[in-house]
Structure 1
Amino acid sequence: MNKLDSALLAILIKDARASFADIARQLDISRAHARTRVQALVESGVIEQFSAVVNPEKLGKVVSTFIDLKVTPARLEPIANELANCPEVVSLYIMSDLQSLHIHTLTDSYETFDAFVRQRIFNRPEILFVDCKTLMSRVKNRRGGARL
């Protein structure tokens, strides 16, 4: 990665639909060179995919909740896989202590969220601890870029 690649990535993070001509104009390079650099970034795995960023509120998903679970280590992966398949779960991470899951859910109402936790989380002996917080406001959010 060099400065040109970093600048190119910044353009694509803002607008993954930017044409090679637009990229070339912004970076003062040829369209062919822009295409070659993008293809190289894709082939090297730096760019994993081009995708749309969807506004969940426009889809009626207005309740954004973050859940931290402590799980019996032997059941960590099965529970992670089960929850990851739920439509309410938009992201799920296994944390470094190897007993915690960090989960982000989007639902259309508190009632829908309540039904999700009652069905999937409550009354499960392998789930040892639950911490749950609902988003009040976004100050900064990631629209593309590193998944770290």
Structure 2
Amino acid sequence: MNELDSALLKILIKDARISFADIARQLNVSRAYARARVQALVEEGVIEKFTAVVNPEKLGKTISMFVDLKVSPQEIEKVAEELAALPEVVSLYIMSDLRSLHIHTLTDSHEGFDRFAKDHIFGRPEIISVECNSLLKRVKHRRGGARL
């Protein structure tokens, strides 16, 4: 990757629907070159996918919770896959100690989160401990993807 590719990625992070002609104008390159570089970045796996960023509050998902679980190491992959498949789970990470999951959930109410926790976390013998925090205020977030 060079400086032009970095500039190209910054443009796409801001607006993945931008036309190749507009990318070319901003980078002072041809439309064909812009298209070829985007395609190359996709093929190389630098760009994994193009997606929409949805405002969860506009969909009534106003309760943002961060859940940290300690899980029996032999069960961590299974628990991670099961929880990741749930609609309430926005993101889920297996942490470097290989027994912790860091989970971000979005629900429409505290009752909705309580149902989620009761149905999918509490009472599971492979989950050793649970810590949970509610989002108070967003200061900086990755809307639109990583910043380069």
1:47 alignment counterpart: 47
C-alpha RMSD over aligned residues: 1.2
CA contact (8 A) 2:13 2:146 kept: no
Question: Residue type matched to 1:56 in 2?
Answer: P
2:57 alignment counterpart: 57
Could you give the per-residue CA deviations for residues 75-112 of structure 1, whole angstroms, max 9, x where no partner exists? 11111111111111111111110100010100000000
SS for the counterpart of 2:57 is helix
CA distance in 1, matches of 2:36, 2:7: 14
Question: Residue type matched to 1:51 in 2?
Answer: T
Could you give the per-residue CA deviations for residues 97-145 of structure 1, whole angstroms, max 9, x where no partner exists? 0100010100000000001101111122211111101111111111233
1:112 alignment counterpart: 112
2:84 alignment counterpart: 84
1:137 alignment counterpart: 137
Normalization by structure 2: what TM-score? Answer: 0.95
Question: Residue type matched to 1:41 in 2?
Answer: L
| Structure 1 position 43, deviation (Å) | 1.0
1:121 alignment counterpart: 121
Question: Residue type matched to 1:133 in 2?
Answer: N
Question: Residue type matched to 1:10 in 2?
Answer: K
CA contact (8 A) 1:66 1:135 kept: yes
CA distance in 1, matches of 2:99, 2:38: 39
Percent identity, aligned pairs only? 73
1:26 aligns with 2:29: no
> After the TM superposition, which of the residue ranges 76-85 and 107-116 deviates more from structure 2?
76-85
| Structure 1 position 146, deviation (Å) | 4.1
CA contact (8 A) 2:61 2:106 kept: yes
1:10 aligns with 2:13: no
CA contact (8 A) 1:14 1:143 kept: no
**Number of matched residues?**
147
1:35 aligns with 2:23: no
CA distance in 2, matches of 1:143, 1:40: 24
After TM superposition, the runs of 4+ consecutive aligned structure 1 residues lying more than 4 A away are none
Normalization by structure 1: what TM-score? Answer: 0.95
Could you give the per-residue CA deviations for residues 11-30 of structure 1, whole angstroms, max 9, x where no partner exists? 00000001001101111111
CA contact (8 A) 2:95 2:102 kept: yes
